[in-house]
């Protein structure tokens, strides 16, 4: 059997970013706030936008509070990553991804389609999120139209 092809440094970095996404999803489902926070840089300028109109979080304390709010307002929650594109340049990476969040809230399952973008930076051997943005497509905006109807 021929040896497995060597993984290029670029492919290894992309695999590391995919591992960040998996770790984020696993920690979210496990409701492990510390594991989720381990994926974020310790920078005071860290910014994360959620889908709610009030969900502009700056710094780790605000992000932790948002994640805790997600947990407090749901009985269970999961995220499943779908299509994604990863671009790596040196110690920086840009991620665009689609996902679905399923939250069990007040006895009902809510299925929320998400679009996510992340900027990650490699610090020592870890890749950390330094900026993130989540959005949800508008259901009333039909394919081929630029605005909702």
Is 16 inside any structural domain? yes
Average pLDDT over the chain, rounded to whole?
A: 93
Q: What is the pTM of this model?
A: 0.87
Is the confidence at residue 144, as pLDDT, over 90?
yes
Is 124 inside any structural domain? yes
Is 4 inside any structural domain? no
The proportion of the chain whose per-residue pLDDT surpasses 90, expressed as a percent, equals 88
Is 1 inside any structural domain? no
Got the DSSP string for 61-93? HHHHHHHHHHHHT-SEEEEEEEEEEEEEETTEE
At residue 1, the pLDDT reads 52
Which residues, 6 or more positions from 55, have their beta carbon under 8 angstroms from its beta carbon? 49, 66
Q: Tell me how many domains the chain contains.
A: 1
Is 2 inside any structural domain? no
pLDDT tens, 79-112?
999 999 999 999 999 999 999 999 999 999 999 9
Domain region containing 103: 9-135
């Amino acid at each position: 059997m021929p040896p497995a092809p060597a993984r290029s440094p670029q492919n290894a970095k992309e695999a590391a970013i995919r591992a960040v996404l998996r770790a984020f999803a696993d920690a979210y489902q496990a409701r492990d706030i510390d594991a989720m926070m381990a994926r974020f840089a310790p920078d005071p300028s860290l910014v994360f936008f959620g889908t709610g109109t009030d969900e502009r979080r700056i710094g780790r304390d605000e992000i932790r509070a948002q994640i805790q709010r997600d947990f407090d307002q749901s009985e269970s929650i999961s995220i499943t990553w779908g299509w994604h594109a990863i671009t790596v340049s040196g110690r920086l990476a840009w991620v665009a991804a689609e996902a679905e969040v399923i939250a069990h809230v007040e006895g009902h399952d809510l299925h929320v389609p998400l679009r996510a973008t992340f900027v990650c930076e490699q610090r020592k051997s870890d890749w950390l999120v330094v900026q993130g943005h989540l959005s949800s497509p508008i259901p009333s905006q039909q394919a081929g139209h630029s605005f909702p109807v």
